[in-house]
Chains A and B, each alone.
Chain A
Amino acid sequence: MRSPGVLAPRVLLAICLLVMGITGVYSFETSTAHGIIAYSGYWCVFAAFGLWVWSLWRSFGQRVVSFHPRQLDPVLVVAVVGGVGVLIIHETLGFKIIMDEIMLSSASMGMHYERTAYCYFRGNDLLGWFEFVQGDLDKRPLFFPFLTSLLHDFSGFRPENSVYLNLIIGTVFLSVVAWVGNRLAGRTGGLLGVLLFASLPLFSQNMTGGGFELLNLLMILLTVILAGRWLSRRDEDSLASLVFSGILMMQVRYESALFVLPVAFVIVLVWLQDKRLVLGWRIGVVPLLLIPYVFQLRYVSTAERSWQLASRPAYSKPFLLEYIPNNLGHAFGFFFGLPSVQPNSLLISVIGVISVLFFVLLLVRRRAALEKGLTGATQIFALGFLVHFLFMMAYFWGQFDDPVIRRLSLPTHLGLVLVSLVVLPELISSVRIRWGGVCAAIGFVALITMPALSRHQYNDSYRPAKTIAWRINFAKNTPRKDVLVIDTQSYLWLLYHISATPVKAAQMKPEAIQYHIRNKTFADVLVFQHIDVDAATGKATVEKDDELGEAFELETLWEQRLNEVSRFRFSRVRSVTVGGVTQRAGEIQYSVSAPLDLPVQRGLNGEFLINYMRNLP
């Protein structure tokens, strides 16, 4: 007869698994699941994060309390500070990857203001208070927006908070890399780990942007460390730390769910080795916390646009083995391309590939005998890195040399660095040679990486980022925030609390725009459009998605060339014609009469406001 203390967590886990299975797979329609993710997503991530922090505290609290700064290795501290300096000094802080960062920031805004996971695309200044009118669920997982929303909660809302968060995450990541390197290969290992990442412009690009890539890297690395601790300690707190780390890692990027395979492998391996099932009530509630995630997976798999197949009409399926040869060629082109063209690190590519070969040899020589601790965890996670790489190669848009896709190679870079650090002590035992390697790495960073970082030519060729930057600059600096902007990417304006609506909404309700122009509800109605230029004839046409229709007469305020075939245009709506009636902007018509009685006036005000809200575009 087992004691209740042992049995209870198992029963709890079984019940929660059952609940998750029923609710996640059978019970709800996609539309209902949509609402459940939106309203419970924040709280489930909050609970998982809280339980993770608590488990970490129980695991490492004693060490944290007894920590003294003298325990830090000053050489590694200098290396981390220097590495952070190199990585941030030449890049501008701001959004870099078109939609991702905007959507993540938008989701964090929804979490901050409303505790929902919605990304808002319609919002208006309602009587002085900015209200988000309509939002949609994004395909991106929720952990990064959650952390950004925490930063909003404690420092006030700023769209750029995700960028500041990445600065913090990047610094923490480099510190953890230094610690891991030190553990695996001594001080030179720590130094080499930091230098390898400092030689990677892609890392710099993401550290100064607002995307979730660095958090993804950090969570993978922390999960590797916690897996190592579970391999050595094998207690309830180590397991809870590992499990919640894995859960949160899954909720950073979609494909990071692949790393759950090594996590599960490590857990089951220890259970089998010890012939003992370590659990706990914290593990018991895990399935419940994963319900929104399961719903989100269903939502992503059902929404066609979520795999972005529409952006490349030549492809019909998101994943196929046939894509691998072509994508491997692109990957080779990225990893071994010129540093001025690709934000890669030849240092990581060369050392990494050599290390992978030796790593395989080592495994074969030791007949895959698993070591304990961090080294053992790295051996197991190497499998995860390999699966991840192959998964990316089988993705229809898995070309690593594509400006939008480059960042997906970051986990592969982490895998290469970790393998290098594992192999280093086996390959080079001489301290002098190791220090020589460190000096060579410093030389590489100074002579190859820093000039590439200064030029950031790899950024300049990226057209969509320029239109985003222009709009953000306008939104930040305009003295009148009480305008309405019609833009396909209305999310962006809402981040700066400027009323915005998508082009489609304006197309469908031109009479609403006419109403607001007549009533001077907004200081101006502005339109942002992308223009395609025929290189042969020079003829400019508004992109189909940005076409407003005949009802609108626009006056161009600003037009800018991006390259030979594309421009963007920012215009003011001069007039809107509906049913033969034209309303021109700027005209205020009024009569003069004796003031009405206050109750009558209040009644009229109320009727007007109701009508006004009905007519919000």
Chain B
Amino acid sequence: MRAWLKESISGFIEALGKAHRPTLLACVLAVVAALWVAYCSVDGVVAGQLIRQWGYWALLVWFGAFVILLSQVWRESGLGVRSPGWGGWLLVVAASVWTIRCDIVAYKILNDELVLQNTSLNMHLTREVGTVYKFYSVDGELVPMLSILDKRPYFYAFCLSLVHDLTGYRPTNGMFLNLALVPVFFLCVVTVARRIAGMAAAVATVLLLCSLPLLSQMATCASMEMHNLTVLMLTVLAAQWYAERPGGVRLGYLCVCTALLSLCRYESVAYAAATLLVLLVLWSRRRELPVRWWLCLVPFLFVPAVWQGRYLDASPMHWELRAGQASRFDVSYLAGNLGGAFTFFTNLGIKQPNSAFLSLVTVLCIGGLSLCLFIPRIRRVVTPTRAETLYPMFPYIGVCFGLLALVQFYYWGRLDDAMASRFSLPFLVFCALFCGICFAMWKPVVRWLMPVSLALWGLNLMAFHVPTVANHFYTSTTFSRVQLDWEASVLSMLPPARRLVISDGTVLGWIARQTPAVSMGEAHRRWAQVKESVRNGTFTEVLVEDQLEVLNAQGDRYLSSESELPEAVRRETVSVKRIGPRLHRITRLHFTEAQLAGVGGR
């Protein structure tokens, strides 16, 4: 290890010596400048404003560069539709169909999906990065009136806005985008595994992923996890391509992929370190530093991700801390989170979207790998993998593992929590890849490995996976989904009207369905305007959505005084539904002439 490190450092120094000095200096200055721009030039609030105004356009340039570079890499590598082979395509199609079939296509993750959907709606309508919280139809045109920059990275929302641009706005477009990404993800996984250890590794990896309910859950919702995974796999593949045959186009493609990945999820910016490590190791081994003038631009690609992180740091309202919690990361969360992680990875029941089989196989593979590493006789027997495609994956696995470790210090990091289990997804995908590669290494040596593995996988599928996905407990019990479905069904049964909804909960669901809605607090503040818009016919119907809370075990109810209307208006019940312990109610308001008199022009 020490010799390897020494050789790498000496190789890097030698490469520095050989590099074109002026370009190298320009690159170093660009890094310094990018760091200054990212961290010192503006404060977090201004950074947020800049992202709101210019974020879309910056990302459009990044994305355009990605498309151009991908097409060049494609052409240069001689890739084509036939590259994965009929076996590869069959695997991709079968795995995609199975994964999608294993859960219901619906909104699932509390708030996240609606925020992303509404951000994409705003990007679609105004090219501004921000979540719409209020919008109206003015002269038949939908006009967002209030938007706030959200904490979530916006590459997924950007892609979704492109889908809206190309196919028209639909609240379900987020799910369709994720469904479309599933085959792309599997194609990347198959390609990565196959290039390392052949088709056996690809098949084993895909089979393991097909027995992971969490993947199905994320593939069929409108969240950014599937998108993050796909871009992560594209980046790993880009690293493999570059390591196999270094070149300017491939380097550019890798850098752009990493930059896009940094805008997929909050923590994905950390994969930039993995890419940097891949490049440094590769350059030092090859003893050359391929500096180009355009490399000066690369550090600036990561500025939006840093700015958004700083905006989040400066906006405690986005942290969503619970009562008694002062910081997002703390050692005090570790014990509980580790317990949650253990429960999640080893659960055999139907209530978690985990795969205990994958956990077990990973442990066995670690054991097998240890045997290879420490017993030379065994190392000589197992089938070697292709080193140039395997090694670029290690830094990404390292960062992924580091991020999972970091989550253990996060205040909402219990993996057995329905909202937090998705944080483990990239880790589980890398576990499956690792197991697939190990399987391919051992398969030619151990004759019974394939039939026994297949039999055990089949047994796991029938005994644990299928009952889990059939019940999809973890999806059914998210109340937000039930509420959204109920709101949609109520809306679909009402006759057409110019409708305003006042809600004491989130208004994002109504806005996603392009129904003007305001929060109860906003309605209190602007009650006169609400009445005026009813009087002048802007709205012909005002609905109020509120929640009756439980007062005691017998089921007596109360309405929070904060959810009361500013004045007594006759209400007609439209629909009532129990969701969890609460009763959700939608009522129609009937204003009297006297109530409307004296507002606006009168």
Contact = CB atoms under 8 A, between A and B. Distances in A.
Given A112-B470, A128-B477, A479 B489 contact: yes
Contacts, number: 114
Contacts of B577: 482, 523
Nearest to A479: B489
25 contacts: A112-B470, A127-B477, A127-B580, A128-B477, A128-B479, A129-B473, A152-B470, A155-B101, A482-B577, A520-B583, A523-B576, A588-B548, A588-B573, A591-B551, A593-B559, A594-B561, A595-B561, A604-B552, A605-B550, A605-B580, A607-B552, A608-B552, A609-B581, A610-B553, A611-B553
A434 interface: no
Interface in B555-595: 555-562, 564, 573, 576-581, 583, 585
Given A482-B578, A520-B576, A607-B552, A588 B462 contact: no
Contacts of A129: 471, 473, 476-477
A588 B553 CA distance: 16
B513 to A, nearest CB: 17
A593 B548 CA distance: 11
A574 to B, nearest CB: 17
A14 B550 CA distance: 63
Interface string A582-617: 000000111111111011010011011111100000
Contacts of A522: 578
> Which range holds the interface residue count of chain B?
35 or more
B471 A608 contact: no
A92 B478 CA distance: 38
Contact of B558 (A112, A128, A520, A591): A591
Contacts of A482: 577-578
A521 B584 CA distance: 11
Interface of A: 46, 112-115, 127-130, 152-153, 155-157, 479-480, 482, 515, 518-523, 588-596, 598-599, 601, 604-605, 607-612
B263 interface: no
Contact of B555 (A130, A157, A593, A611): A611
B466 interface: yes
A591 B548 CA distance: 9
B558 A590 contact: yes
Interface in B483-500: 489, 493
A148 to B, nearest CB: 13
A607 B476 CA distance: 22
A114 B553 contact: no
A495 B341 CA distance: 35
B552 A520 contact: no
Contacts of A130: 476
B467 A114 contact: yes
B567 to A, nearest CB: 14
Contacts of B561: 592-595
A607 B467 CA distance: 30
A391 to B, nearest CB: 35
A153 B462 contact: yes
B387 interface: no
A334 B323 CA distance: 76
B554 interface: yes
A112 B463 CA distance: 10
B208 interface: no
Nearest to B458: A50
Contact of A592 (B473, B553, B555, B558): B558
Given A46-B462, A113-B470, A608-B555, A596 B477 contact: no
Nearest to B582: A605
B517 to A, nearest CB: 21
B493 A588 contact: no
Contacts of B562: 595
Contact of A113 (B463, B467, B481, B580): B467
A135 to B, nearest CB: 15
A115 B92 CA distance: 29
B554 A611 contact: yes
Contacts of B557: 588-591
Contacts of A518: 555
A113 B579 CA distance: 23
A152 B551 CA distance: 42
A595 B557 CA distance: 12
Contacts of B581: 604-605, 608-609, 612
Contacts of A479: 489, 493
B482 interface: yes
A128 B580 contact: yes
A592 B564 contact: yes
B144 to A, nearest CB: 30
Contact of A156 (B101, B479, B560, B578): B101
A611 B585 CA distance: 22
Contacts of B585: 588
Contact of A128 (B476, B559, B576, B583): B476
Nearest to A614: B553
The 7 closest A-B pairs by CB, nearest first: A519-B555, A607-B553, A590-B557, A605-B581, A129-B476, A595-B560, A608-B550
B541 interface: no
B549 interface: yes
Contacts of A612: 555, 581
Interface in B354-394: none
A17 B562 CA distance: 72
Contact of B576 (A115, A153, A588, A591): A588
B471 A113 contact: yes
Contacts of A592: 558-561, 564
A599 B324 CA distance: 12
Contacts of B579: 128
A605 B547 CA distance: 13
A612 B578 CA distance: 12
A617 B559 CA distance: 28
A153 B466 contact: yes
Nearest to A611: B553
Given A153-B462, A482-B577, 9 more contacts: A115-B463, A128-B479, A479-B493, A520-B578, A588-B576, A588-B585, A592-B559, A607-B552, A609-B581
Contacts of A112: 466-467, 470
B396 to A, nearest CB: 34
Interface string B454-475: 0000000011001100110100
A599 B323 CA distance: 9
B245 to A, nearest CB: 41
A604 B549 CA distance: 9
B476 A604 contact: no
A60 B183 CA distance: 35
A520 B466 CA distance: 34
A595 B576 contact: no
Given A520-B578, A521-B578, A590 B553 contact: no
A163 B481 CA distance: 31
Contacts of B559: 590-593
Interface in B422-479: 462-463, 466-467, 470-471, 473, 476-479
Interface string B384-426: 0000000000000000000000000000000000000000000
Nearest to B548: A590
B549 A157 contact: no
Contacts of B548: 588, 590
Given A521-B578, A588-B583, A595 B549 contact: yes
A152 to B, nearest CB: 7
Nearest to A50: B458
Contacts of B564: 592
Contacts of B560: 592-595
Interface string B323-353: 1000000000000000000000000000000
A113 B555 CA distance: 31
A608 B553 contact: yes
Interface string B88-101: 00000000000001
A604 B578 CA distance: 16
Contacts of A593: 551, 558-561
A515 B434 CA distance: 54
B419 to A, nearest CB: 15
